[in-house]
């Protein structure tokens, strides 16, 4: 595994468009330069193994995943308490591109692990959208999910390097992403 030249830790509320922003960044930088890493992938894979579940179905936006979400959150928190870097190490394994976009950073312990491991190449990116916009994207508040650390862990305690507003205005989003991409090109 080559050391990254830039690590972007994306965070934001459900349906803020974190995955969309991550995909846009990879598209603009190119797949040879940028890879998207997901902390939830290793979590869901291990959870599926330990509980005899269908890993692939836990990855999609289905009722199947929602049925297990709260228990998966609880289980993941137990794993993190025992080893804060468990899912971070699994996510970066095999990453070769110089730019890593972690599309689902959710906790201060994730930010701390990446900063301790990769230092000054780490940048935090908050993707924001109003509740109204998120509702248009089919977001509905779920008690035990939207008020859990997995959704609120970075609402405080992090001074974000970048804040990307994603309200559905393609031009405004494009301008913000272009500034970020230009900054990344300077570090490559």
Question: Which tens digits make up the pLDDT trace of 158-171?
Answer: 999 999 999 999 99
Burial code of 63-80, b = ≥16 C-beta within 10 A, e = fewer? eebeebeeebbebbeebb
**Tokens coding 117:** 């491991």
In this prediction, residues 113-138 reach a mean pLDDT of: 97
In this prediction, residues 101-106 reach a mean pLDDT of: 96
Report pLDDT for 59.
85
pTM of the predicted model, to two decimals? 0.90
What number of H helices and E strands is found in the chain? 9, 5
Report pLDDT for 145.
83
166 known ligand binder: yes
Segment among 117-121, 138-142, 178-182 with least mean pLDDT:
138-142
17 known ligand binder: yes
Question: Which tens digits make up the pLDDT trace of 6-52?
Answer: 999 999 999 999 999 999 999 999 999 999 999 988 999 999 999 99
49 known ligand binder: no
176 known ligand binder: yes
> Is the CB of residue 8 less than 8 Å from the CB of residue 34?
no
Instruction: Give the rounded percent of residues in the chain with a pLDDT score beyond 90.
Output: 79
In this prediction, residues 144-156 reach a mean pLDDT of: 87
In this prediction, residues 73-96 reach a mean pLDDT of: 92
In this prediction, residues 138-164 reach a mean pLDDT of: 91
Q: What share of the chain is helix, strand, coil (3-state, %, to 5)?
A: 50, 15, 35
Report pLDDT for 103.
97
> Is the CB of residue 132 less than 8 Å from the CB of residue 141?
no
18 known ligand binder: yes
67 known ligand binder: no
**Residue 89: closest CA among 99, 98, 80, 78:** 80
Spatial separation of the C-alpha atoms in residues 103 and 125, rounded to whole Å: 10
Report pLDDT for 139.
94
14 known ligand binder: yes
In this prediction, residues 109-117 reach a mean pLDDT of: 96
What would you report as the CA-atom Rg of the chain, rounded to the nearest whole angstrom? 16
Question: Which tens digits make up the pLDDT trace of 126-140?
Answer: 999 999 999 999 999
19 known ligand binder: yes
135 known ligand binder: no
DSSP string, 90-154: HHHTT--SSEEEETT--SHHHHHHHHHHHGGGEEEEEEE--HHHHHHTT----TTTTTSHHHHTT
């Amino acid at each position: 595994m080559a050391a990254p030249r830039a690590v972007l830790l994306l965070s934001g509320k459900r349906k803020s468009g974190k995955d969309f922003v991550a995909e846009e960044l990879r598209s603009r930088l190119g797949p040879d330069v940028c890879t998207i890493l997901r902390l939830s992938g290793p979590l869901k894979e291990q959870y599926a193994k330990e509980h005899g579940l269908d890993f692939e179905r836990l990855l999609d936006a289905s009722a199947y995943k929602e049925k297990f979400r709260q228990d998966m959150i609880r289980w993941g928190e137990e794993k993190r308490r025992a080893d804060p870097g468990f899912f971070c190490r699994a996510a970066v394994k095999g990453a070769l591109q110089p730019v890593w976009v972690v599309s689902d950073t959710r906790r201060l312990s994730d930010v701390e692990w990446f900063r301790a491991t990769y230092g000054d190449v780490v940048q935090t990116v908050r993707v924001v959208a109003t509740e109204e916009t998120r509702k248009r994207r089919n977001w509905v508040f779920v008690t035990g999910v939207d008020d859990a650390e997995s959704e609120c862990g970075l609402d405080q305690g992090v001074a974000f390097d970048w804040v990307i507003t994603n309200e559905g205005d393609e031009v405004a989003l494009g301008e913000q992403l272009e500034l970020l991409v230009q900054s990344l090109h300077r570090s490559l």
